[in-house]
Amino acid sequence: MENPKVAVIVLNWNGWKDTLECLESLYRSTIEDYHVIVVDNGSTDDSIERIREYCEGRLKPRSKFFKHSKANKPIRIFDGQNLKEIKTLYRKFDPDRRLILLPLGKNLGYAGGNNAGVKLAQILNVDYVCFLNNDAVVKPNTLKKLVYCAQKEDASIAGPLVFDYYRETILSAGIKLDLWRGLALHQRIPQKNVDCVEGSCMLVERFLLEPRGVFDEEFFAYWEETDLCMRARKKGRKIVLCPDSRIWHKVSWHGKVRLFNLYLLLINNVKFIRRYGTWKQKLTFVPYFVCRILPLFTLRSFLKRPLKTFKLIASVIFFIIFGEELLPKEAFL
């Protein structure tokens, strides 16, 4: 495939400072044909206005990796809901001088927000979609090498080597799944074939794009990229790590524990094993999860918010037994 077209979807939720740094790095990309789609996931801050100021050249993002460039400013913003304008006027602008901005009325989670962006990518008739966290920074050749690797290996999903933004150590060189214990283990030594790639940056070929999107919105956030990789593998698709392609990721939690995030992480862990584990793996997973994972992840929050954490634990155990959520996820906001 010559000059493959790539759409990069960046999901923003109350994080415009990170998003602007991410965009500034993206617009230095050496790949010939790319599209940048920013989906605002119902932000309650002034993210939309800040992104507009950046595109006008009035707001300079800060980064330890590069200096702000005025060369491609102003950047023309296209409303993601104005499909007529995107189909007619959009392609008259160079890749580094155009941006599709899609504001959503509410937070649809990682899965729902990215799926909204996928629908725009399909209109652009791209060959690949790259899902990129807004708190990540790419090198100019990151996309080009990622696409080259995916084509060379005939892979449907490809991911880069992920470095810690602050310490510059390897965070993830692909993921190995352990369904017996329900673990997604981040590797530190690069190997070509992996079970899954880290969700902060993953390249997905168009054959995996469906009318309803890519990610299962039942997961909302966490384990949705692992679910995608598992579905791809069941279809006989190849998943690879591309060590020559690299990004730097800030990692969103920064040591803070929010009950909402914690609930999603735990409940989706159980959902994943219920969906893909054999009956023997499920029998092994349950005692390990209840005796090891659940106490390990909830101890800190239990000391600070015992009543709400107790409800969280009860809800997760209820789901293990009955396969239904005792309380809605909004109860832990």
Question: Where in the chain are the domains?
Answer: 6-249, 259-332
Task: Please list the pLDDT of the chain residue by residue as tens digits (333 residues).
Answer: 678 999 999 999 999 999 999 999 999 999 999 999 999 999 999 999 999 999 999 999 999 999 999 999 999 999 999 999 999 999 999 999 999 999 998 999 999 999 999 999 999 999 999 999 999 999 999 999 999 999 999 999 999 999 999 988 999 999 999 999 999 999 999 998 999 999 999 999 999 998 888 999 999 999 999 999 999 999 999 999 999 999 999 986 544 568 999 999 999 999 999 999 999 999 999 999 999 999 999 998 999 999 999 999 999 999 999 999 999 999 998
Contact 263, 215 (CB under 8 A): no
Segment (H or E) for 177: strand 175-178
Residue pair 49/19 in contact (Cβ under 8 Å)? The answer is: no
Contact 61, 68 (CB under 8 A): yes
Q: How far apart are CA 36 and CA 34, in angstroms?
A: 7
Fold for domain 6-249? Spore Coat Polysaccharide Biosynthesis Protein SpsA; Chain A (3.90.550)
Look up the pTM and report it: 0.96
- C-alpha dihedral (177, 252, 20, 156), degrees to nearest 10: 10
